Each structure stands twice: as structure tokens, then as C-alpha cells.
Amino acid sequence: MCEPFSLRIIRLFSRAIVRIPGSNFDAGLTSAEFGAPVFDLVLEQHQRYCDALVECGLELTTLEADLRFPDSTFVEDTAILAAHGAVLTRPGAASREGEVDAIRPAILGFFPNPLRIEAPGTVDGGDICEAGDHFFIGLSHRTNEEGARQLAAHLASFGYTSSTIDVRPMTSILHLKSGIAYIGDKTMVVMEEMAGYDQFQGFELIGVSADESYAANCVRVNDRVLVAAGFPRLAEVLGARGFDPLALDMSEFRKMDGGLSCLSLRF
């Protein structure tokens, strides 16, 4: 018999790569107006995030801080790691381009033959939303049309379908996944502004109200959903739909335009 609130785990992650924030974290890129991050809190929140991934059953590869790249704790932007293949990206911000070479050795340990995005293409991993066997590719001020074209071809070679969503006109988000998340079980969490998009037909939608839109960047990790702390309505709805939210304080990463998904590569 079917239990109404038992969720099927559609993809079990077993590992994640994270990078410790550097002491110059506050020199990274940001458009947010929440003030400067407090470094002790940055480290504390990052440690709690790593502990949460371990609680969810993941084995972590933890990379040392890399002071050459103040944004390099946001490892998600450097690669797309999927069950059938990996792609190294070419981040759209010049100051972040070298992050891919820096993380490549760690990725090669798990994905020996990754494909890559070549110039003039650019892709930030934060624009790529895996939803089962389909990938949504955000066109943003970081991911350009050529990058999206290359990535779609790479994904097709792995057996995945993809489609693009243009978020360039939206000033409130940096990346596609700043506004949407796929949390398994055919369910998308979607910020209000994007809730009516045709592309999400066929998915169960959990809408996120404008005042909680930061929380749309949540992450399903095995049987939990990581959500930013301080957004009680989304956590409540997730719970009511049978998900198991785990709230994490993200205040210091938000100050640098970062969210939960950016802080790890999960596979």
C-alpha cells in the first residue's frame, strides 16, 4: 500500500566536494546590500553546512581555502557532476575563471574524463538545475548562449535532455538556481516570479513568496532538504508535503550572493 508521505529517493548522493572559505572571502563579487560578512561566522556557518552534509550521509572531500580566488568556496559554479558524466565549466566572471583549474584535480579523482566548456562559452554551475533526466540551463549574466549550447550538447551525449530558461531580465537573482530548486519526487521549489513558467508543467510546484524568495535555493540531499534558516513558511510547506527540511544559517553567504547549493558539488 502507498503511504501518502513516504518519498521516493530518486538519486542518492554519496559524496560532496566543498572548499573552506578564505580569509579574503569578503573580496568576492556581490550585489547584495547586507553589509560585509563576518569571517568567524562565515567559517562557523560553513562548518555547520559541512556537518549537515555528513549527517545526510555524504563523504566529504574538503579542499583548503584558496586565497587566489575569494569566491572559490562557491564550488558549485565550477562543474556539473551528473550520474552519467561530468562537465567542467567556464565561469562567466573573469575573477572566477581560474577556479576550474584549481578544483580540477579533485574532480578528476572521481570523474577521470570530464568534458569542458570552451571559450567563448561561459557557464556557471549555479545556472544548471538537474531535474531527473532533464536539465534546465539558465541563461544569465554568467551563462551565455554559447555556453548553454555546448553544455546541452555535452548533456545530450550523456543521454540527458535539456532546455534553457532566460533569467537575464530578472534583476533579483544571480543564477537560475537562485530562484528554483528540484527536490526530487517530481517537485520543484519555485520563486513566485517564475511559478507560471510553462517549462515546469508536469512538475509539482511549491511556490515561494516574494518575501522568502532567497529560500528558493534549497537542496535535496538524500532524505533531507537543506533550507536557509529564517524562512519559516517554506520550511512548513516542505514539511507538510512530506519532505524533511534541515534549516541552516546562511546569513554570511547571502551577503556575497551565495546560497545553499553553491557551497558544494554533490554526486
Rounded-to-integer distance, Cα 61 and Cα 149, Å? 30
Candidates 114, 126, 147, 245: give the one binding ligand CIR (CB under 6 A).
Answer: 126
Task: Choose the binding region for ligand CIR from 45-53, 207-215, 243-251, 253-261 (rule: CB under 6 A).
Answer: 253-261
C-alpha distances (whole Å) from 230 to each of 66, 101, 201, 214, 227 are: 30, 36, 29, 10, 9
129 catalytic, yes or no? no
Q: Which of 50, 56, 175, 218 is catalytic?
A: 175
Candidates 74, 135, 243, 267: give the one binding ligand CIR (CB under 6 A).
Answer: 74
Residue with the three cell numbers 580540477? 104
Q: Which residue is nearest to ligand CIR (CB)?
A: 126
Q: Which CB, 46 or 175, lies closer to ligand CIR? A: 175
Verify binding: residue 259, ligand CIR, rule CB under 6 A. Answer: yes
Verify binding: residue 66, ligand CIR, rule CB under 6 A. Answer: no
Q: How far is the CB of 73 from ligand CIR (least distance, A)?
A: 9
175 catalytic, yes or no? yes
Site string for ligand CIR, 17-36 (x = CB under 6 A): -----------xxx------
Q: Which CB, 142 or 224, lies closer to ligand CIR? A: 142
Task: Choose the binding region for ligand CIR from 55-63, 152-160, 179-187, 259-267 (rule: CB under 6 A).
Answer: 259-267
Verify binding: residue 135, ligand CIR, rule CB under 6 A. Answer: no
Q: How far is the CB of 210 from ligand CIR (least distance, A)?
A: 19
Q: How far is the CB of 55 from ligand CIR (least distance, A)?
A: 22
Number of residues this chain uses to bind ligand CIR (CB under 6 A): 20
CB 170 within 8 A of CB 193: yes
Tell the burial category of 201 from Cβ atoms under 10 Å away from its Cβ (0-12, 13-18, 19+): exposed
Rounded-to-integer distance, Cα 172 and Cα 41, Å? 25
CB 140 within 8 A of CB 169: no
Residue with the three cell numbers 550520474? 83
Candidates 41, 60, 93, 229: give the one binding ligand CIR (CB under 6 A).
Answer: 93
Rounded-to-integer distance, Cα 247 and Cα 168, Å? 29
Verify binding: residue 43, ligand CIR, rule CB under 6 A. Answer: no
Task: Choose the binding region for ligand CIR from 41-49, 157-165, 208-216, 257-265 (rule: CB under 6 A).
Answer: 257-265
Positions touching ligand CIR (CB under 6 A) are 28-30, 71, 74, 76-77, 93, 96, 125-126, 174-175, 178, 256-259, 261-262
Which residue numbers are catalytic? 175, 262
